[in-house]
Amino acid sequence: MTSIALRPRGRQLLLWGGGLLAVAALLAPLHAQTGKAYIIQTNAAGDSVHLIDPMTDKIVAEIPDEEAIHGAAVGPDGSRLYLSNEALATLDVIDVRTLKLFKRIPLTGGPNNVAIRKDGKRLYVAIQGAEGGVDVIDTVAMEKVKFIRVLRGVHNTFITPDSKFVVAGSTGGSVATVIDTETELPAWSIHFEGGVRPLCFETNADGSTKRMFVQVTNLHGFAIVDWATRKEVGRIKLPDIPVAERNTEGIQGAPAHGILVAPDKKTLWSTSKVNSAVYAYAMPDLKYLGEVKVGKVPDWLTFTPDSKKLYVANAHDNTVSVVDVAARKELSRIKVGQVPKRNATGMLLWPPTGTQ
């Protein structure tokens, strides 16, 4: 077992005990998770991962020696953090109680994003490249147990809210492959004119998947897919701004890269790298609600569990914008590492009980 040192970010930010009850009351758990809510921010060109406390909007811990981390996922009991390591082609398992490296699991190839089943027993790692696909990780045995080949590799994996399917999006193959998590075999697929970028889901009343919202290469907006018919049924185009105000750096074929439905299911938010903004749409009719200007090249986003705040990773500013969802207003920017991209919200068992 390899250990790494925790870099504390100030004793005053690590207080624990009585404050936990107040936090728990304000921030409802994700799935069946316990613990305290944190924003997990990876840094694509950095060598560490940051934890942001949404109660203070401050960095409270930094996990060092984690270079070029792509995706992050949290186990349902809050005791494990899983990081896909592009530098080493491994899945790095972090013991949340100590914030130390517990194990590195070798992968088939260079990893991109990760997704975890809600029971925490299976994790799906996107493997990029011509011979890529999806690595299936048994989180009990702590090993790779299967590789699912997908045409021209996978950039992102996303689990449906009911955990019945994982969707593997290929940028090279321009296809979203829907994989049954029980059989771990492809069930169906849908093709687009360009590469499949981030995507998210809307659910029916029973928790099953109703629609999928997909960002596509060179599309400044997103496609709407009806899950039952497996067909694209419409598109939303993000607002235009004057040419002189548009950003042309760091687009990488993805003018819109980052999309998510809020936990309360009332709104959908999308980033715009071109406009240096995020855009809000009402659910389920997708009525346009408004814009919030953020940093340069907003690349990913995540909500607090109560849907009150949105955190947007600004890749070219090395910052994270904190957005008030109801007011549609940027509250602050948090300085993080080099080229922040993927982020996630997790209920973590940290700091350990009794930490002062």
Helix (H/G/I), strand (E/B), else coil: 254: coil
* pLDDT tens-place string over residues 91-126: 999 999 999 999 999 999 999 999 999 999 999 999
| 229 contact partners, CB below 8 Å, separation of at least 6 | none
Helix (H/G/I), strand (E/B), else coil: 127: strand
* pLDDT tens-place string over residues 116-155: 999 999 999 999 998 999 999 999 999 999 999 998 999 9
Kindly tell me if the per-residue pLDDT of 28 is higher than 90.
Answer: no
Q: How far apart are CA 297 and CA 251, in angstroms?
A: 7
Once rounded to an integer, what is the mean pLDDT over residues 259-285?
98
Q: How far apart are CA 181 and CA 201, in angstroms?
A: 16
Q: What per-residue confidence (pLDDT) applies to 153? A: 96
Q: What per-residue confidence (pLDDT) applies to 34? A: 67
Contact 144, 99 (CB under 8 A): no
Q: How far apart are CA 251 and CA 183, in angstroms?
A: 37
* pLDDT tens-place string over residues 185-218: 999 999 999 999 999 999 999 999 999 999 999 9
Q: How confident is the model at residue 182 (pLDDT cuts 50, 70, 90)?
A: very high
Q: Side chain identity at 103, as an amino acid letter?
A: K
For residue 228, give the DSSP letter.
T
How does strand 185-191 pair with strand 196-203?
A: unpaired
Record the tokens describing residue 331, joined without a space.
């509250």
Kindly tell me if the per-residue pLDDT of 15 is higher than 90.
Answer: no
| 186 contact partners, CB below 8 Å, separation of at least 6 | 148, 150, 177, 178, 179, 180
Q: How far apart are CA 86 and CA 79, in angstroms?
A: 23
Q: What per-residue confidence (pLDDT) applies to 298? A: 98
Decide: pTM greater than 0.75.
yes
Q: Which residue has the higher pLDDT, 308 or 14?
A: 308
Architecture of the structural domain at 7-348: 7 Propeller (2.130)
* pLDDT tens-place string over residues 155-181: 999 999 999 999 999 999 999 999 999
Cis ω on the peptide bond leading into residue 351 (within 30° of 0)? yes
| Lowest mean pLDDT segment, chosen from 8-17, 247-256, 293-302 | 8-17
Task: Give the whole-number percent of the chain exceeding pLDDT 70.
Answer: 89
Kindly tell me if the per-residue pLDDT of 26 is higher than 60.
Answer: no
Q: What per-residue confidence (pLDDT) applies to 17? A: 34
DSSP class per residue in 137-204:
EETTTTEEEEEEE-TT--SEEEE-TTSSEEEEEETTTTEEEEEETTTTEEEEEEE-SS-EEEEEEEE-
Q: How far apart are CA 329 and CA 283, in angstroms?
A: 19
Q: What per-residue confidence (pLDDT) applies to 354? A: 59
Which residue is listed with tokens 């027993």? 121
Q: What per-residue confidence (pLDDT) applies to 355? A: 58
Q: How far apart are CA 351 and CA 217, in angstroms?
A: 40
* pLDDT tens-place string over residues 316-333: 999 999 999 999 999 999
| 329 contact partners, CB below 8 Å, separation of at least 6 | 292, 323
Kindly tell me if the per-residue pLDDT of 294 is higher than 70.
Answer: yes
Kindly tell me if the per-residue pLDDT of 31 is higher than 50.
Answer: no
Q: What per-residue confidence (pLDDT) applies to 352? A: 78
Q: Which residue has the higher pLDDT, 265 or 355?
A: 265
Report the mean per-residue pLDDT for the chain: 91
For residue 338, give the DSSP letter.
S
How many degrees, rounded to 5, is the angle at CA 193 between CA 191 and CA 197?
75
Record the tokens describing residue 234, joined without a space.
């419409």
